[in-house]
Amino acid sequence: MIETDDPELACPIAPAVDLVFSRWTTPILWALHTYGRQRFVQLERRLSSITPKVLTQRLRQLERDGLVTRTYHPEVPPRVEYEITPLGQSLAPLFAGLADWADENLPKVHEARAVFDAR
């Protein structure tokens, strides 16, 4: 095995984790996967603690990464819709596995934290 200080070479899943598990990526993808195509304001309401600026930035990044598509409808007023792409949908089994892990193991994590904090 090659030793390296480069985390991407030391851990080959690091780039995928950085891509998918940044602060707002997972909730945005979950909302689009669960509820389908949505306008900006619908996403903003579902993710009530995100600011419009951050939501715009994250949606642009997700579009750039190929996980979300943005459709502009030249109407009055203009309408923009966001939808998860097949590439974004391919993450569903990963999220389902994490949800299963969380259901089974988060109580153990909370217990471990309580034990540690009690020391």
Q: Note the CATH number of domain 7-118.
A: 1.10.10.10
Indicate left, alpha or beta for 113 from its phi (over 0: left) and psi (-120 to 50: alpha). Answer: alpha
Does the pLDDT value for residue 42 go beyond 90? yes
d(CA 61, CA 32): 15
pLDDT for 77 equals 87
Domain boundaries, the chain: 7-118
Residue 50: φ, ψ to 5° = -90, 140
Q: Give me 32's structure tokens.
A: 């689009």
Share of the chain above pLDDT 70, in %: 92
pLDDT digits (tens, 9 = 90+) for 50-103: 999 999 999 999 999 999 999 999 989 889 999 999 999 999 998 889 889 999
Residue that wins the pLDDT comparison between 14 and 93: 93
Residue 50 contacts residue 62 (beta carbons within 8 Å): no
- Written as six digits, the tokens of 105 are 């193991």
